[in-house]
Structure 1
């Protein structure tokens, strides 16, 4: 047969039967490859055995032996997807990029499969018949397909660099700057529609897997019991001599219409942090210096120490020992939202 290929969002999707077809039809630049938004139609109608997914933003070089190895693994019983480590070429230097194994809980849409991976078309057609079409959408279609394949088939990671990638063009300063914001892109208002679609895909997967938990509808009942203060700023700390004073000053500077204190859970610091907190707490009754009896606590255990202490207020608000509140009104805003919405938790953004 003549191999077929399409451009699906950022990926070239290539349907092949063996490594020879993959080599002869490998998309170099994608100039003549038609675009599609429907993975379903392309996969369902293909008589091939494998679906190769190649990142169009990279030059991907994979030798025939490596392709054959990936296809051989993808052809094995109960295998749905195969991916491998890779090497990146920059300025004539190769850098290895090992990836992590796929696990049952690896459901993030940005799980790193590298820049080239292989699906079994048998597995794809099976899950399409069983679980339905993926969205006709380049942002979520491949994500949906991968999750459905993972329900019934293995996803194999080859812990060996089987291909080489290189940038197609030099990235601009603008692109380099935006890379630092990539981690937080999901919070941008412009990405709301995309995130809602991805959430819908993930929720459907959890339902299919039997792991979906319904969102609780209950509102928090704000008890009228007596508390020492309305709110406690909790600062877990371990060896933060250089930053703890600034964090404490930021907390002390909060302007509120309610009483609050600051619980510093000092996890047995040995760099001078303990003495700094001790001295400041002696001069300011708002600061409560707590040193746990146990020496095996992590940050969660320190939090528990604060919540269980006699000093803890009605609401607890975290501040890291190396962070500052963005204004003197931050604590008031957070507690205000907790009161109005009767929420179990409120999360604030940071810069």
Structure 2
């Protein structure tokens, strides 16, 4: 007979009463571990368990220790109200038994403003290394996999315990998602997607991020994908270029913002020649007219309208970078953002000159359409360090702004022809072999407004974006493993 231990870190009995009743009646359930103050209401299978520090390594170890005699562990990973769907536990277990998966999870429903809303999750990949991967709050682990993983834990964490455990378990088998809605929770985070995506760079979460980095770094070493801090040397050669730097703006239908973006380039003060390449991807509003008007009055503006009609942002980038008028350095500016002041280009070029790197990433400030700062304010991506940035980049979801590239390297790497994640893919690929320079002073204003591409995405679009970035990381993980294998002695 299969046996399951259930761990339910509830704040109150009311929110989990339905779940507890079903677990009590289920013959597969051996023990229901609850906070001590809820045990008396929960019935005969209930036992007290301290969930203080749920995200700590010590809690992970205690969960494993009391689950030696069972086959599976059902874990609620955060306190929330939960209602199980029909035969949900049986479905989780039978899937684990059939597939041999070490971790099973499922889609779920959320109650939002009194209405039931579907919350599908996505399939786990080798490159699903970000610590905010959403399995949903209810997961089933194979108990023996927890024992194997915990035996290999070498660090103690306050915040990264569950993440560390997940990475360790993933090294020994597969995770399996059931594309069925097996339970319902009350929504606890009502922010829009555009507000949530910056949690990992919020200065308040710095200690959390340091722990996550340590866990991810150990995992990359375990799976042979960790890279040392050696780099290919880059010798900047201006002789093949007419300009030292080109700013590239891919744009489509940004009549409200394109003039501001272009103006922030044209006011730059530098000790070198630069131009502005605007790749106008068949705009249907007044964008093309605005670009043309500015170009007629400033010879530094190159206005390109692609012949192709299948280009995303990445494809437009390729067009600009491979244009013979592109300078030695190709620098990014989004069509609804602006440079902070007239010194931005000079600061970026100076880093290339000083560090001989293949890419430079700056620091930006989140502002609204009126250029007023909005939370979390300055995004400096301090998780990127010369020592471990190229490894930590495999865990995070972006690499900052503005981004600038040594053009010969970018022409060789090439940008994926997508309109989301293309910059992250390029940054990972470049960091595999080359040094990336950093500027920690704010040099860029990132405007968040109602027409931003990621301001308020629905769950389907968010899942598509996250699946793609996980796929990018999977590709990069394989490339790094292959690189390390090629260094290994026969």
| TM-score normalized by the length of structure 1 | 0.82
Q: How many Å apart are 1:48 and its aligned residue?
A: 2.0
User: What is the DSSP-based 3-state SS (H/G/I as helix, E as strand, rest coil) of the residue aligned with 2:242?
Assistant: coil
Aligned to 1:342: 356
Does the Cα contact within 8 Å between 1:84 and 1:159 map onto a contact in 2?
yes
Paired residue for 2:155? 135
Matched with 1:74 is 96
Kept in 2: contact 1:82–1:117 (CA 8 A)? yes
When residues 180 and 293 of structure 1 are mapped into structure 2, their CA distance, relative to the original with a 3 A threshold, is: closer
| Alignment CA distance shift 1:248-1:91 (3 Å) | closer
Correspondence 1:25 to 2:32: yes
How far does residue 243 in structure 1 lie from its aligned partner after superposition? Answer: 2.3
Q: 1:344 to 1:247 in 2, by over 3 A?
A: same
**Is the 2:7–2:73 contact (alpha carbons within 8 Å) kept by the matching residues of 1?**
no
- Say whether residues 1:111 and 2:111 are aligned partners: no
Contact kept in structure 1, 2:70 and 2:143, CA below 8 Å = yes
Residue in structure 1 matched with residue 216 of structure 2 by the alignment: 202
Matched, 1:148 2:148: no
Alignment partners' CA distance in 2, 1:65 and 1:304: 51
Judge conservation of contact 2:238–2:328 (CA < 8 Å) in 1.
Answer: no
What are the residue-to-residue correspondences of 1:181-330 with 2, within 5 Å? 181-225=195-239, 227-330=241-344
Bigger Cα displacement from structure 2, 102-111 vs 224-233: 224-233
Runs of 5+ consecutive residues of structure 2 not aligned to the other structure = 11-15, 39-47, 367-490
| CA distances 1:314-335 after superposition (whole Å, capped 9, x unpaired) | 2221111122222222222222
For the residues of structure 2 that align with 1:182 and 1:137, how far apart are their CA atoms? 24
Q: Is 1:93 aligned with 2:115?
A: yes
Over residues 45-66 of structure 1, what are the superposed CA-to-partner deviations in whole Å (9 max), with x where a residue is unaligned? 5222212221433112225721
Q: 1:184 to 1:134 in 2, by over 3 A?
A: farther
Alpha-carbon offset, residue 109 of structure 1: 0.8
Report if aligned partners of 2:5, 2:33 keep a CA contact under 8 Å in 1.
no
User: Which of the numbers 154, 179, 188 marks the counterpart of 1:159?
Assistant: 179
Deviation string 1:203-253 (CA, Å, 9 cap, x unpaired) is 332333333444442443222525322211111122333322221112112
Cα distance, 1:17–1:41 mapped onto 2, change above 3 Å? farther
Q: Distance in 2 between matches of 1:308 and 1:275?
A: 24
TM-score under structure 2 normalisation? Answer: 0.61
Query: Does the Cα contact within 8 Å between 1:20 and 1:64 map onto a contact in 2?
Result: no
Mapped partners of 1:159, 1:77: distance in 2 = 14
Structure 2 vs 1, CA of residues 333 and 251 (structure 1 numbering), >3 Å: closer, same or farther? same
Compute the displacement of 1:284 (Å).
Answer: 0.6
Report the CA distance between 1:114 and its aligned residue: 0.7
Number of the residue aligned with 2:64: 43
Q: CA-atom RMSD, angstroms?
A: 3.4
Deviation at 1:125, TM superposition (A): 2.1
Structure 1 distance, partners of 2:166, 2:25, is 21
CA 1:101 to 1:92, structure 2 compared with 1: closer, same or farther past 3 Å? same
**Equivalent residue of 1:104, what SS?**
coil
Cα–Cα, structure 1 residues 322 and 91, in superposed 2: closer, same or farther, change >3 Å? closer
> Contact 1:19–1:64 at 8 Å: present in 2 too?
no
1:30 offset after TM fit, Å? Answer: 6.4
Structure with the greater alpha carbon radius of gyration = 1
Q: 1:94 to 1:176 in 2, by over 3 A?
A: closer
Q: Which moved more, 1:80-89 or 1:211-220?
A: 211-220
Distance (Å, rounded) in 2 between the aligned partners of 1:76 and 1:137: 33
